[in-house]
Chains A and B, each alone.
Chain A
Amino acid sequence: MSQDNKQTQGPQTTGHAWDGDLQEYNNPVPNWWLYAFYISVASAVIYWFMYPAWPIGGSYTKGFDTITYVNDKGITKTTHWNTRALLMAETNEAVAAQKPYYTKVASLPFEQITKDPELNSFVVSAGKQLFSDNCAPCHQQGGAGKIGFAPNLTDDDWLYGGDFTHIQQTITGGRHGYMPPFADVLTDVQVSQLADYVLSLSKIAVNPASAQAGDALFHSETAACYYCHGADAKGRQIIGSANLTDKIWLWANVPGSDTIAGKEDAVKNVIRTGLNKGVMPTWQDRLSADQIKLLTVYVHELGGGK
């Protein structure tokens, strides 16, 4: 095997001829490569002894290498090397590094978390990761929200309340927006009048007579909008009904239309069909209580927290 491969007289051949004149070059790999190969084969044997390797009937050789970790019950365990135990050990290490911060997040009241600069920077960096992965698909990057889909989290308008406790409740248990459809209850004229009233609340110039009729309807037992949206139309956070007076639109895409007729159509559509969406999943099964608390602070600090 260790032929001299200095090519002084051109490449050597294997010395065999096929079909009379077909010859094959013989260019052996360098010796250093060959020995490295032998060494790697030999080290495979070392791996067999160190790590899980050979199947034997219903079991397998576990290897001599071990991993020691502490489980969530606080019990220290030592087991043969495997990736699941390795994950336990590595997670423990990382959790231990974050623990001082998470302990503080868990024990301190919300206001104090934001006042502690070091803790606050931990919340911002860890919260950003959690938010990007879990919340941004609906609420978009930075919590900008999406008209017709998910509320903006950076303004000071909150469907279900924008203080720490309510944000925490929302994340923990999820939400489900609902408004009954009025297409069968109200005539087209009535729906238009209500839409005009709702737009007038946001200072949009609509037909004043129509808006006035809508005002009466809003507070009547026929449409009974005030049941949920309140007599002042400012919404009730306990049931998540929208504040209709703040020029902030989620379900009716009013800003998306330049014409008054277009804006009316957007509102009319919501009144007719109602809503059975705005579903926010519950996060208590996926995130820990500490992570939810941290996210609560993060969302609160996005700009709109109360």
Chain B
Amino acid sequence: MFNFKHEWVETNIGLLLVLTMLAISIGGLVEIAPLFFIKDTVEKVDGVRPYTPLELRGRDIFQREGCYLCHSQMIRPFRDEALRYGHYSLAAESQYDHPFQWGSKRTGPDLARVGKKYSNEWHVAHLVSPRSMVPQSVMPNYPWLLSTELDISDITDRMKALRLVGVPYSLNQDEYDANVKKFGKETADMLNIADARKNLIAQAQQGNYDGDRSSISEMDALVAYLQVLGTMVDFRKYDDDEFVKYR
């Protein structure tokens, strides 16, 4: 008969390690793992697409500068948040985010729906010197974004890496055709890895996010990213309780 003795665990560091990890992973297994199997976790909604190459680089800069340490990107379904930030965030809206930027700390405001709320010009002035726009702000200055040229040498590798974890950037004709079907031709073209560099330059030139067309700065990418946040889903198309049924 197997006779378990507590002393085994306390005198065997390897066993202690394994059992400790088992014990603390239960919380994750119980709370997170089922969500991968529940059908309604990701809402069915139109408009959500992966980031364009320029927006993707902007997102990289967002992470590099640690913006998520002070800014969350998740509007919770509370009335005060709905009044200030807009419609609560959907799981579907971050389905192509790896890693997601929900965050857990708000020193600054939530950014989940900051897209199109302010002009490009405002974002540039505010990122260079936040207190020039919001006198009471405690955000640091990010002046180098404007003077640093955007590194786009590895943009295709970055998209390939995200493709490996399931983001539908297309590498061949079949994947491209599937994207055309799912997102429409215009978006599918932007998601084609082979055209990434061309698309990135074109979007930066056309959008002129930092107000200077002579070069593509990190500011171009970051503002392009900020301006698309939370704008992909057109909530006017849906009843205001459309997404209740998914919870």
Contacts and interface: CB of A to CB of B under 8 A. Distances in A.
B90 to A, nearest CB: 10
Contacts of A255: none
Contacts of B79: 87, 90-91, 94
Nearest to B125: A149
A180 interface: no
Contacts of A57: 37
B117 A134 contact: yes
Q: Which of A85, A87, A146, A285 has the most CB of B within 10 A?
A: A87
Interface in A4-35: none
Contacts, number: 90
B120 A77 contact: no
A151 B125 CA distance: 16
B241 interface: yes
A83 B247 contact: yes
A55 B38 contact: yes
A173 interface: no
A279 B39 CA distance: 43
B11 to A, nearest CB: 11
B64 interface: no
A149 B211 CA distance: 14
A71 B240 contact: yes
Interface size class, chain B: 35 or more
A277 B211 contact: yes
B77 A285 contact: no
Given A279-B121, A280-B119, A281-B117, A87 B82 contact: yes
Interface in B101-137: 116-122, 125-126, 133-135
A279 B119 contact: yes
Contacts of A277: 119, 121, 211
A129 B84 CA distance: 9
Given A59-B39, A88-B240, A138-B133, A286 B119 contact: no
Contacts of B245: 79
B247 A84 contact: yes
A137 interface: yes
A254 B125 CA distance: 20
Contacts of B40: 59
Interface string A155-176: 0000000000000000000000
Given A59-B38, A79-B244, A84-B244, A91 B116 contact: no
A220 interface: no
Nearest to B240: A72
Contacts of B134: 137
Nearest to B39: A58
A285 B116 contact: yes
Interface string A271-305: 00000110111000110000000000000000000
Contact of A84 (B34, B84, B122, B243): B243
A277 B121 CA distance: 7
Contact of B133 (A84, A91, A137, A276): A137
B116 A58 contact: no
A251 interface: no
Contacts of B37: 55, 57-58
A82 B88 CA distance: 14
Interface string B147-170: 000000000000000000000000
Contacts of B119: 138, 277, 279-281
A133 interface: yes
Interface string B92-105: 00000000000000
Q: Which of A52, A84, A133 has the most CB of B within 10 A?
A: A84
A138 B119 CA distance: 9
A19 to B, nearest CB: 12
Contacts of A55: 34, 37-38
24 contacts: A52-B247, A55-B34, A58-B37, A59-B38, A59-B39, A60-B34, A79-B244, A82-B244, A83-B76, A83-B77, A83-B247, A84-B243, A85-B244, A86-B77, A87-B88, A90-B79, A137-B126, A149-B121, A149-B133, A276-B211, A277-B211, A281-B118, A285-B116, A285-B236
Interface of B: 34, 37-40, 76-79, 82-84, 86, 88, 116-122, 125-126, 133-135, 211, 236, 239-241, 243-247
Given A85-B247, A129-B83, 5 more contacts: A60-B38, A77-B241, A82-B247, A83-B247, A281-B117
